[in-house]
Amino acid sequence: MSDGDVQETRTDTPEVEFEKVNKYFGETHVLKDIDLAVENREVVVVIGPSGSGKSTLLRCVNRLEEIQSGEIRIAGESITDPEVDVNRLRQRVGMVFQHFNLFPHKTALENVTLAPVRVRGVPKNEAEQKAEDLLAEVGLGDQADSYPAELSGGQQQRVAIARALAMDPSVMLFDEVTSALDPELVGEVLGVMRNLAEEGMTMLVVTHEMGFAREVGDRVVLMSEGRIVETGPPADLFDSPKTDRAKQFLTRVK
Amino acid sequence: MGETDTRKRGGEAAARDGLVTDERVKWAGVAVSVAFTLAIVGFIALVLLEYVDYGLLFAVVPRFVEAFVRVLRVVVISSVLAVTAGVFVGLGRVSRTSVTHAIATAYVQFFRGTPLLFQLFIIYLGIPSLWPPGEFPVGNWSFATAVIALTLNHAAYVGEAVKGGINAVPAGQMEAARSLGMSYVDSMREIILPQAWRNALAAIGNDQVILVKDTSLLTVIAFPEILTVFREINSNQFDPWTPIVLVAITYLAITLPLMRLVQYLEDRAEWGTQG
Ligand SMILES: Nc1ncnc2c1ncn2[C@@H]1O[C@H](COP(=O)(O)OP(=O)(O)OP(=O)(O)O)[C@@H](O)[C@H]1O
Ligand SMILES: [Mg+2]
């Protein structure tokens, strides 16, 4: 199986699938019976109040957190199976964090080439060529040799997106990737994400940017207290929410 | 703003804050450090001019050079081994595997919790006694003891420094590495340890300076280190100041370059933050 296939053809198997997922932190029940499928090329936006479990939901997808019951599948393959090679499945899932988490001792280019070279065994010059293309794509063609400390928050976050894309993931996870940015830098990062969505990347996005959710999202999922309380196309969910919980939340964020 | 204005404002501040004003603290600092420097320089001049016997000094320089070379050899070998082993001790200390963690912890507790002098005796006297009398196979056991004890002891301290350095790396670094599909070992080697190393460098360097000074204990295992030479000369000549000067020079000849090396390594690990 080659990695390129996944993005180009529409498949019936969802890229990410939650089935009756339950997650506890000690006594706290953080994810409650989560059922959710992210289809190929779909952009699913997760919204909800602070502490409702959005980050945890994302972090379970690539098993940065362990779940206690249920199953999560990446393109049909269970990542929650204790026997599975988690490093292999993680390569198919790109993740971008709120605080960028770039490697400070590596240049932008090295941040992007590291995993392809170390994990995939891609020859160095090939990886560098591709990294330069990716950096150019996120508008940082001239910053390849800069260290993270020399870049603005918005630039760092775009490098982080390029770094995740370098592994040719079939789905990308974004966890409030603009919340740590100065307001004037939010747009450049959302722009990159919008382009990705237009190119057909499958995305699971946690955000407080309701404008982005409405414009780019194919589907919005509203979480509250560990449950998915409502889900639907952005227009429906934002303009005519069905549940009281959704109405409450939406009046607060508007 | 004129000089008088500044003074006047200083005066007002003094009235408000009582005796301790920024200005007075600054001048008190200057006064104390200048007085201290004058006293020390004066004393050193006095010693060098009146108390050092230069005939004796030049006669015993070769003995200090020999001690310097012997100590430097022990220091370089032990230090390299201690830092290398210390990285693994540190990894053991942050390991989530309970056996590894327990062993690393017990190791650190023993070697930090008992005196180095005692550890030297365990190895120097204890180990050979495990063989029948006269059959212990190692010739220069005091050199070997020196290296083994300094390595084991300082690996414990380096291990704690490395542990602190690892814990100071934000958790998001490991998560970012793992989410790219990198293994734990690769993530440690490529991402966590280089940053932990930078975090721990000052503490590790500090410990290596202490290691140099710890060689003064080697005199008890018949290793002719720097102070051994001092005592020989002093007891033969009843002239403490001549060898004191040479002892100071010999230690500083090791520790000052070592501190420079640590500073160089720290500067090199700035990664774009120094412009
Ligand atoms: N490592 C952890 N240990 C214990 N509890 C945790 C941990 N991480 C999260 N929680 C708890 O789990 C719940 C869900 O947290 P989560 O971070 O997923 O919320 P969130 O929806 O992402 O919130 P926010 O919008 O503030 O980022 C919260 O009650 C939180 O306190
Ligand atoms: Mg969150």
B131 torsion bin: left (phi>0), alpha (psi -120 to 50), beta (else): beta
Answer yes or no: do B30 and B130 share one domain: no
Q: B97 and B34 share a domain?
A: no
Buried b (16+ CB within 10 A) or exposed e, A70-95: bebbbbeeebbeeeeebeebbbbbbb
Residue B67 near residue B226, CB atoms below 8 Å: yes
Let me know the angle formed at the C-alpha of B272 by A142 and A168, rounded to the nearest 5 degrees: 50
Check whether residue B32 and residue B118 sit in a common domain.
no
Looking at the structure, tell me whether residues B231 and B177 fall in a common domain: yes
CA distance A128 to chain B (A): 17
In a domain, B38, yes or no: yes
Q: How many domains does chain B have?
A: 2
Residues B91 and B177 in one domain: yes
User: Could you give the ipTM of this predicted complex?
Assistant: 0.92
The verdict on a CB contact (< 8 Å) between A99 and B172 is yes
For chain A, first and last CA: distance in Å? 45
Are B58 and B39 part of one and the same domain? no
Q: Is residue B87 part of a domain?
A: yes
- Note whether B74 and B38 are same-domain residues: no
Residue entry with tokens 């990695």: A3
Query: Which of B96, B173, B175, B180 to mutate to probe the A interface, most A CBs <10 Å?
Result: B180
Look at phi and psi of residue B138 and say left if phi exceeds 0, alpha if psi is from -120 to 50, else beta.
Answer: beta
HSE toward the beta carbon, residue B249, CA cutoff 13 A = 12
H-run or E-run covering A141: none
Residue B7 has what pLDDT? Answer: 52
Instruction: Report if residue B49 sits inside a domain.
Output: no
Pocket test for ligand 1, best of A54, A207, A222, A223 (most atoms within 8 A of CB): A54
Long-range contacts of B230-237 (CB under 8 A, 24+ apart): B232/B63, B233/B56, B233/B60, B233/B63, B237/B53, B237/B56
Polymer length in residues for chain A: 254
- B48 domain residue, yes or no: no
Domain identity same for B18 and B60: no
pTM value is 0.88
* Closest residue in A to B271 (Cα–Cα): A105
Residue type, B46: L
Domain that holds residue B228: 54-268
The helix or strand, by DSSP H or E, that contains position B87, with its residue range, turns out to be helix B54-94
Asked whether the predicted pLDDT for residue A51 surpasses 80, the reply is: yes
B246 located within any domain: yes
**Quick check: is B275 in a domain?**
no
pLDDT tens, residue by residue, B36-57: 999 999 999 999 999 999 999 9
CA distance, residue B258 to nearest chain A CA (Å): 24
The reported pLDDT for the residue numbered A31 is 97
- Under-50 pLDDT residues of chain B: 1-4, 6, 275
Contact criterion met (CB < 8 Å) for B198 and A105: yes
Q: B273 in a domain, yes or no?
A: no
> Rounded to an integer, what distance in angstroms lies between the CA atom of residue A59 and that of residue A65?
6
pLDDT of residue A3: 47
Mutate to test the pocket of ligand 1, among A47, A52, A221, A228 (most ligand atoms within 8 A of CB): A52
pLDDT bucket at A50, cuts 50 / 70 / 90:
very high
CATH number at residue B88: 1.10.3720.10
Inter-residue contact B10 to B23 (CB < 8 Å): yes
Q: Clarify whether residues B216 and B96 are in a common domain.
A: yes
Q: Is the pLDDT confidence value at A10 over 60?
A: no
Residue B194 CB neighbours (<10 A)? 18
Q: Which residue's structure tokens are 């770094």? A: A163
Pairing of strands A202-206, A171-175: parallel
Same domain, B17 and B122: no
- B128 in a domain, yes or no? yes
Judge if B83 and B191 occupy the same domain: yes
Let me know whether B149 and B14 are in one domain: no
A135-194 pLDDT, tens digit each:
999 999 999 999 999 999 999 999 999 999 999 999 999 999 999 999 999 999 999 999
* Strand-pair partners of A34: A21
What pLDDT is recorded for position A123?
97
